[in-house]
């Protein structure tokens, strides 16, 4: 299994297209607690604002991806406007996760640089403006394929901002990370991870932190908790989840949840199901 497929098997990708057409003037997009946003500017000029103090001008056909749920504004000229496709993107159960946390606040890529984007966009527009049955489902699936291409591009071009995607782009670190992903229940220590990576303990720890922004132990903890959340959402019991992600008991998993999230697994699940 390749690096990106492994991540997406844990944090499944869900995309939904909610607008295809021409926009003029300013359009505000509300913050969403679970989803990020994707905007494809197919023709015309547009401006993105609301991401801190940054203002981004789009003058070439481009894809904008905002991986975290943040309010923002897309502005197009009042005369010709801009032809756009707008959608929402969620990884796994939504909210913070190793995929979205690995990316900068805004990913901007010209469509000419993203292999296959033109073909996908043509298919999306055909589905959007032709009255076929299943058009919305087809649009959403095509958007997901486009997102996978974008994530692949981010890894290959090292557009990541630390985190899992940055680590997976590193030849040696990725060996240890993939092993953790495959077997989070193993009693990992830094020496074990370094051995899998083919590095000394000290060199591995230093490089891991420099590339991902986390310590090896910190990353292992976050991966275990993310895996636990996914399993809990799928109806697994706390005791079973604890064993599967590397905790000796339900109490140990509860203490980890309380330290990191301020909630027990049961309380977290109740809150997540209401979100």
Given this model, what pLDDT does residue 275 score?
A: 61
Higher-pLDDT residue of 257, 79: 257
**222 & 269 share domain:** yes
Given this model, what pLDDT does residue 251 score?
A: 94
pLDDT at 58 over 90: yes
Query: If pLDDT is split at 50, 70 and 90, which confidence band does 183 have?
Result: very high
- The average pLDDT across 232-244 equals 92
Given this model, what pLDDT does residue 136 score?
A: 92
**26 & 135 share domain:** yes
Task: Please write the tens of the pLDDT for every residue from 9-55.
Answer: 878 889 999 999 999 999 999 888 788 999 999 999 999 998 888 89
**24 & 116 share domain:** yes
Q: Of 2-6, 65-69, 242-246, where does mean pLDDT reach its minimum?
A: 2-6
**137 & 57 share domain:** yes
Looking at the DSSP assignment, which residues form a beta bridge with residue 107?
Answer: 65
Task: Please write the tens of the pLDDT for every residue from 258-273.
Answer: 999 899 999 999 887 7
CB of 49 closer than 8 Å to CB of 24 = no
**183 & 70 share domain:** no
Task: Please write the tens of the pLDDT for every residue from 122-179.
Answer: 898 888 888 889 999 999 999 999 999 999 898 888 888 788 888 988 889 999 999 9
Instruction: Please give the residue range of the domain that contains residue 189.
Output: 172-274
**138 & 207 share domain:** no
- Give the count of domains, the chain: 2
pLDDT at 97 over 80: no
CATH code assigned at 152: 2.60.120.770
Report residue 90 as tokens: 């969620």
pTM of the model: 0.81
Q: Please identify, among 163, 181, 197, the residue that sits at the C-terminal boundary of a domain.
A: 163
Burial of 77 (0-12, 13-18, 19+ CB in 10 A): middle
Q: Please identify, among 135, 163, 191, the residue that sits at the C-terminal boundary of a domain.
A: 163
Mean pLDDT of all residues in the chain?
90
């Amino acid at each position: 299994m390749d690096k990106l497929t492994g991540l997406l098997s844990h944090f499944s990708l869900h995309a939904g297209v909610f607008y295809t057409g021409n926009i003029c003037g300013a359009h505000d997009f509300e913050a969403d607690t679970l989803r990020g946003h994707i905007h494809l500017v197919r023709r015309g000029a547009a401006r993105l604002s609301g991401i801190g103090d940054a203002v981004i001008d789009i003058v070439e056909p481009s894809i904008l991806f905002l991986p975290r749920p943040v309010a923002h504004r897309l502005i197009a000229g009042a005369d010709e406007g801009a032809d756009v496709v707008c959608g929402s993107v969620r990884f796994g159960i939504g909210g913070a996760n190793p995929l979205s946390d690995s990316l900068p606040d805004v990913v901007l890529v010209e469509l000419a640089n993203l292999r296959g984007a033109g073909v996908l966009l043509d298919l999306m527009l055909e589905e959007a403006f032709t009255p076929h049955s299943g058009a919305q489902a087809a649009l959403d699936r095509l958007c997901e394929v486009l997102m996978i291409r974008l994530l692949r591009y981010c890894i290959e071009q090292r557009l990541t901002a630390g985190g899992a995607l940055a680590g997976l782009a590193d030849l040696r670190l990725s060996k240890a990370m993939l092993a953790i992903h495959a077997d989070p229940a193993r009693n990992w220590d830094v020496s074990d991870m370094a051995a899998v990576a083919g590095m000394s303990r000290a060199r591995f720890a230093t490089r891991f932190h420099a590339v991902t922004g986390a310590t090896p132990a910190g990353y292992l903890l976050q991966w275990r908790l993310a895996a636990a959340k996914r399993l809990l959402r799928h109806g697994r019991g706390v005791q079973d989840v604890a064993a599967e992600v590397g905790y000796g008991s339900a109490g140990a998993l509860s203490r980890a949840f309380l330290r990191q999230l301020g909630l027990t697994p049961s309380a977290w699940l109740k809150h997540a199901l209401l979100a």
